[in-house]
Amino acid sequence: MEIKEITEGETRLLIPSKRKITKKDVVFYNPHMELNRDLSVSITRVLKPGRFCDLLSGTGARGLRVCAEGRVKHVLLNDANPNAVELIKKNAEINNLDVEITNREAGSLLAEERFDFIDVDPFGPPVAFVDSAVRALENNGVLAVTATDTSALCGTYPRACRRKYDSLSLRTDYYNEVGLRTLLGYVIRVGLGYNVSFRPLFSHCTRHYFRAYFRGERSRRACNESLKHLVYLQHCFSCLNRGYSSLDGLLERCECGHEFANAGPLWSGVFADKEFCSGVMKELGFSEKGLELVDLVRGEQDITNPYYNIHRVFHKRGMPTRPTSELIDSLLGIGFRAVRTHFSGLGLRTDAPVKEIYDIL
């Protein structure tokens, strides 16, 4: 394997020099995930976990950065690919890091060990690893998952979403929010089976992937509470009205008379904890993009209604699009809440009903 050295954050990394960024690479390394790993570093600085497991390590980029730049007591890096493990060992050595490295199938490792923080960063969907990760997580531990199968989660391949996430997906103008909420709903539902209530600490959609960090508390009461936010989405493709509903409250038609399309089950609660975001921002001074992202995510947690793509809203009225900031100011001016969203520069998150939005155009 031909390798070259790079530096990510403050950590030196040997990576394969010939890469296509596909799962066929000898060892997988994706430079576009640097922001994702920056966030892991700052999040571990806030949470200070004891035993951290980088379950699917690749080159070891995440686990080694967390060890070198974050705040953790013990880091275990694992990968089933022997070439990856060879590289992880070299990378640990050149950074003088004292870590545990294993070459195991993820499920068998999780069946034998327990961790305070488990990071699941697979190719595609995380579903094959979530169940065993839930069982290997200490009470009040943190589970982090990445999903790169955005086409399944966002409604392009609805049958794939049914198969993997046991959820109906829908291709809406806020498709990436539906995708993130479907992923959150899935992990939370798996937790419920073990009386583990997963509360999203921070989650986001960036480029081609979703990422979510959950705190898992063993508590039936907390599980029952979270059931309230495992709901269905009703969307009207005619007037763009949208809202959440329990299964027994689903409506056939929108107020405009058009039939509702449904998605779910998905998570309708907050997808990040505002206080946690503030803590993470204090530890993210080294990443301008990271700060911007966490700030946007923090700012949109008071409104859980899915965001509007303002281009679509103007298009429905046959009008040219005006800046998002103008609409936000108009809605604030008539007493509604309105903010930007990290999901899209054309996104408007508001508690105003769709009729009110049309009125201010």
Task: Compute the distance between CA of residue 339 and CA of residue 344 in angstroms, rounded to an integer.
Answer: 12
Would you count residue 35 as binding ligand SAM (CB under 6 A)? no
- Residue of 62, 164, 189, 340 that binds ligand SAM (CB under 6 A): 62
Task: Compute the distance between CA of residue 329 and CA of residue 8 in angstroms, rounded to an integer.
Answer: 40
Q: Which of 175, 162, 149, 186 is nearest to 267 (CA)?
A: 186
* 47/106 with CB nearer ligand SAM: 106
Q: Which stretch binds ligand SAM (CB under 6 A): 58-66, 136-144, 242-250, 346-354?
A: 58-66
DSSP state letter for 152? H
Least distance from ligand SAM to the Cβ atom of residue 288, Å: 20
14 — alpha (psi -120 to 50), left (phi > 0) or beta? Answer: beta
Site for ligand SAM in 104-143 (CB under 6 A): 105-106, 121-123
Site for ligand SAM in 202-231 (CB under 6 A): none
Task: Compute the distance between CA of residue 25 and CA of residue 18 in angstroms, rounded to an integer.
Answer: 8
Least distance from ligand SAM to the Cβ atom of residue 90, Å: 15
Task: Compute the distance between CA of residue 48 and CA of residue 314 in angstroms, rounded to an integer.
Answer: 46
Least distance from ligand SAM to the Cβ atom of residue 294, Å: 19
* 77/230 with CB nearer ligand SAM: 77
Task: Compute the distance between CA of residue 207 and CA of residue 333 in angstroms, rounded to an integer.
Answer: 33
* 207/228 with CB nearer ligand SAM: 207
Q: Is 108 helix (H, G, I), strand (E, B) or coil?
A: helix
Would you count residue 61 as binding ligand SAM (CB under 6 A)? yes
Would you count residue 57 as binding ligand SAM (CB under 6 A)? yes
The residues that bridge with 309 in the sheet, in sequence order, are 347
* 28/308 with CB nearer ligand SAM: 28
Q: Which stretch binds ligand SAM (CB under 6 A): 55-63, 261-269, 308-316, 335-343?
A: 55-63
Least distance from ligand SAM to the Cβ atom of residue 34, Å: 9
7 — alpha (psi -120 to 50), left (phi > 0) or beta? Answer: beta
Least distance from ligand SAM to the Cβ atom of residue 19, Å: 11
Q: Is 233 helix (H, G, I), strand (E, B) or coil?
A: strand
DSSP state letter for 168? B
Would you count residue 32 as binding ligand SAM (CB under 6 A)? no
8 Å CB contact between 32 and 289: no
Least distance from ligand SAM to the Cβ atom of residue 84, Å: 5
Least distance from ligand SAM to the Cβ atom of residue 358, Å: 43
- Tally the C-alpha atoms within 13 A of residue 92's C-alpha that lie toward its C-beta: 21
Task: Compute the distance between CA of residue 129 and CA of residue 106 in angstroms, rounded to an integer.
Answer: 7
How far apart are the two ends of the chain, measured CA to CA in Å?
A: 58
Q: Which stretch binds ligand SAM (CB under 6 A): 53-61, 211-219, 294-302, 332-340?
A: 53-61
Would you count residue 234 as binding ligand SAM (CB under 6 A)? no
Site for ligand SAM in 64-93 (CB under 6 A): 79-81, 84
Which residue's structure tokens are 């034998």? 112
Binding site residues, ligand SAM, CB under 6 A: 28-29, 33, 37, 56-59, 61-62, 79-81, 84, 105-106, 121-123
